[in-house]
């Protein structure tokens, strides 16, 4: 094979060679995945699709996989689980279609990418919805946002048209506003809101170390969803008194499937080593809640946190800051108040969700 590749490199024009190399590289790259997918044909299974690839190294995305996988195993124990990531969906749809029967269930990964800012994920979601019309498709909690732009309006209409073709589709919002948008945009689908799945994970019972100065973790995003300029970030960090560290949930190295649980555990241990948290990351807030740490939250460019904060209204020791100037005061306030009064997330939401989705499948099956 190597000799053939070398010969082709000498004989063929460069552009043709590079094109063929790219095409056959994709074929061989996903050959093992295709075999794995085909092995599930005829087997009662759940297709859990559009999970993050290793290169999407945001631990918040991978934490959702850890939580959803545990939830699926708890509530659907008679089903085998076939996980396919975003790349695998886009390159292996013929095999996915052939191996997925009408009695299999399809769950699409949760997150914040149902909209024109997450078109790679949205393209995969559309392929699944179009390609599996005879299966129940459950799109797990998403922040839904299409920008008011030429591109956003065009992509919104495309998603509306494609989603409307599926007879058994459930679209879940990750916050109240996203749930409302799901009903508006996809009226033929069943739609409602539930919190982010990471909240279904067990809380960390780690006490604050005594005899040391209080420490604050400043967990800030460094991407286009941030509303903070470099100057704002610097001002915010300088305004927080005492020992502090700056962190982001996106890692420098890829997160492989077999590493997810360990890296999540280390991240939660890291959050728990601080006395308080300031964050504009949704999963920065959720990790803080799991670690039971007082937290001040800042908004982003959309309603991801402003609307989702409703889930946390009753919890003691959490505040939303509508400007960086208010963070120091609110941080002192939540530290004095302390963390408490968190709900039973599984009892109130995720166990109920499983029963509701089963009823939908049974009623329409």
Query: In this predicted model, what pLDDT tens digit does every residue of 73-115 receive, in sequence order?
Result: 999 999 999 999 999 999 999 999 999 999 999 999 999 999 9
Q: Which one is predicted more confidently, 304 or 79?
A: 79
Per-residue DSSP letters for 136-147? EEEEEEEEE---
- The mean pLDDT of 268-279, rounded to a whole number, is 95
Cα–Cα dist 242/213, whole Å: 8
Helix axes 119-131, 150-163, angle to 10 degrees: 20
The residues, any chain, with a CB within 8 Å of residue 64's CB and separated by 6 or more, are 109, 110, 111, 196, 197, 198
Query: What is the pLDDT at residue 29?
Result: 73
Residues 165-179 pLDDT 10s: 999 999 999 999 999
Q: How far apart are CA 133 and CA 123, in angstroms?
A: 16
Number of H helices, E strands in the chain: 15, 12
Distance CA 67, CA 286 (A): 12
Residues 6+ apart with CB under 8 A from 51: 65, 83, 84, 85, 86, 109
d(CA 92, CA 217): 41
pLDDT band at 222 (very low <50, low <70, confident <90, very high): confident
pLDDT band at 212 (very low <50, low <70, confident <90, very high): confident
- Choice among 27-31, 92-96, 174-178, 360-364 with the minimum mean pLDDT: 27-31
Quick check: 82 and 40 in contact, CB under 8 A? yes
What is the domain class of 31-199+348-364 according to CATH?
Answer: alpha beta
Q: What whole-number distance in Å separates Cα of residue 46 and Cα of residue 77?
A: 10
Give the position of tokens 């509508």.
Answer: 322
pLDDT at 184: 97
Handedness of CA 77, 79, 84, 89 (dihedral sign): negative
Please give the DSSP secondary-structure letter assigned to residue 316: B
Terminal CA-to-CA distance of the chain, rounded, Å? 49
pLDDT-derived band of residue 149, with 50, 70 and 90 as boundaries?
very high
Rounded to the nearest angstrom, the gap between the alpha carbon of residue 303 and the centroid of all alpha carbons in its chain is 15
> By C-alpha distance, which of 339, 284, 214 is closest to 59?
284
Q: Is the pLDDT of residue 151 over 60?
A: yes
- Tokens 């695998």 sit at which residue? 88
Confidence of residue 301 (pLDDT cuts 50, 70, 90): low
- pLDDT (0 to 100) of residue 28: 61
Radius of gyration for the chain, computed over Cα atoms and rounded to the nearest angstrom: 22
Per cent of the chain over pLDDT 90 is 80
- For the chain, the domains span 31-199+348-364, 204-337
Band the pLDDT of 299: cuts 50, 70, 90. Answer: confident
Cα 199 from chain centre: 12
Question: What pLDDT score was predicted for residue 208?
Answer: 67
Q: Does domain 204-337 have CATH number 3.40.50.2000?
A: yes
């Amino acid at each position: 094979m190597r000799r053939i590749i070398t010969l082709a490199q000498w004989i063929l024009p460069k552009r043709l060679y590079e094109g063929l190399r790219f095409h056959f590289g994709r074929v061989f790259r996903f050959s093992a995945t295709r075999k794995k997918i085909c092995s599930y044909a005829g087997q009662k299974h759940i297709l859990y699709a559009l999970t993050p690839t290793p290169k999407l190294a945001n631990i918040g995305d991978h934490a959702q996989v850890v939580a959803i996988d545990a939830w699926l195993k708890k509530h659907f124990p008679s089903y085998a689980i076939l996980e396919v990531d975003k790349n695998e969906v886009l390159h292996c749809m013929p095999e996915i279609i052939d191996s997925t029967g009408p009695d299999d269930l399809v769950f699409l990964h949760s997150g914040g990418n149902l909209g024109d800012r997450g078109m790679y994920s949205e393209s995969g979601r559309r392929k699944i919805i179009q390609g599996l019309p005879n299966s129940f498709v459950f799109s797990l909690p998403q922040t839904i946002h299409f920008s008011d732009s030429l591109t956003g309006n065009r992509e919104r209409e495309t998603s509306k048209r494609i989603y409307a073709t599926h007879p058994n589709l459930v679209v879940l919002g990750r916050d109240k506003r996203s749930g409302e948008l799901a009903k508006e945009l996809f009226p033929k689908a069943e739609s409602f809101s539930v919190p982010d799945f990471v909240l279904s994970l067990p809380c960390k019972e780690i006490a604050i170390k005594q005899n040391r100065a209080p420490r604050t973790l400043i967990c800030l995003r460094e991407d286009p969803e941030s509303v903070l300029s470099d100057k704002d970030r610097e001002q915010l960090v300088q305004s927080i008194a005492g020992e502090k560290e700056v962190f982001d949930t996106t890692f420098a190295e890829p997160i492989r499937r077999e590493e997810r649980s360990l890296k999540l555990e280390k991240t939660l241990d890291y959050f728990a080593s601080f006395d308080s948290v300031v964050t504009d990351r949704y999963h920065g807030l959720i990790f803080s809640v799991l670690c039971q740490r007082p937290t001040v939250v800042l908004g982003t460019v959309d309603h991801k946190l402003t609307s989702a904060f409703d889930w946390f209204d009753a919890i003691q020791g959490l505040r939303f800051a509508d400007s960086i100037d208010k963070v120091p005061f609110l941080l002192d306030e939540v530290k004095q108040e302390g963390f408490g009064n968190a709900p039973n997330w599984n009892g109130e939401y995720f166990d109920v969700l499983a029963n509701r989705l089963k009823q939908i499948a049974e009623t329409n099956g």
